[in-house]
Chains A and B, each alone.
Chain A
Amino acid sequence: GQQLNQSPQSMFIQEGEDVSMNCTSSSIFNTWLWYKQDPGEGPVLLIALYKAGELTSNGRLTAQFGITRKDSFLNISASIPSDVGIYFCAGLGISTSGTYKYIFGTGTRLKVLA
């Protein structure tokens, strides 16, 4: 099935460093969401973006909805060990057939070294 391109696929960082990841698509979306998934758990919603150009923060997290509506990025500042997990982006929009589409990214696996 279709997935959004998310990069990097994985990253190891030192505690305290800032992290940046992005998500790109060939089609436009009306909403971008960012989720974090811990092993064996369901994804947890971190940030939702509804307008092109929108920049939204949630604590140490900041995400932006790209102007072209085809991309989004997520930044994590001053990372801590509990930031470990897999981060997924998701694009929500209308398909060419007029039905809703929900497409998830391939995921960025984050590991934080204490």
Chain B
Amino acid sequence: DSGVTQTPKHLITATGQRVTLRCSPRSGDLSVYWYQQSLDQGLQFLIQYYNGEERAKGNILERFSAQQFPDLHSELNLSSLELGDSALYFCASSVGETSSYEQYFGPGTRLTVT
């Protein structure tokens, strides 16, 4: 158990819909990262927040957005969903802000868009 929690574990929705994925980092960690992993694919970095502020952006679509709240939990919002958005979405957390801190991953949310 990494200490990172994600909800829900599974989500099935239709194209065009909007969903929100939630992540709670490990106790004491200030950074939260979001990743997308498509079937049999590697991990694609989407976005990082540190102590409530956006710190780094990866391959995140404009239809996707995220935020980190004062209690440090984070939400990833996916809108106008397409079939290709079906994937595992992982959240990770680390204690620090910079790229030199190791990240700990949550169990993921499996999103299926039908």
Contacts and interface: CB of A to CB of B under 8 A. Distances in A.
Interface string A67-89: 00000000000000000000010
B58 A1 contact: yes
Given A31-B100, A33-B103, A48-B102, A41 B108 contact: yes
A100 B90 CA distance: 18
B99 A100 contact: yes
A100 B56 contact: yes
A44 B2 contact: yes
A96 to B, nearest CB: 14
Query: Which bracket fits the contact residues of A?
Result: 20 to 34
A103 B2 contact: no
**Residue picked from B45, B99, B105, most chain A C-beta under 10 Å:** B99
**Chain A residues touching B, majority SS:** strand
Contacts of B57: 99
Interface of B: 2, 4, 33, 35, 42-45, 48, 55-59, 90, 92, 98-100, 102-108, 110
Given A41-B107, A45-B103, A100 B55 contact: yes
A105 B42 contact: yes
Contact of B99 (A3, A35, A41, A94): A94
Contacts of A106: 42
A94 B42 CA distance: 20
Contacts of A48: 102
A42 B107 contact: yes
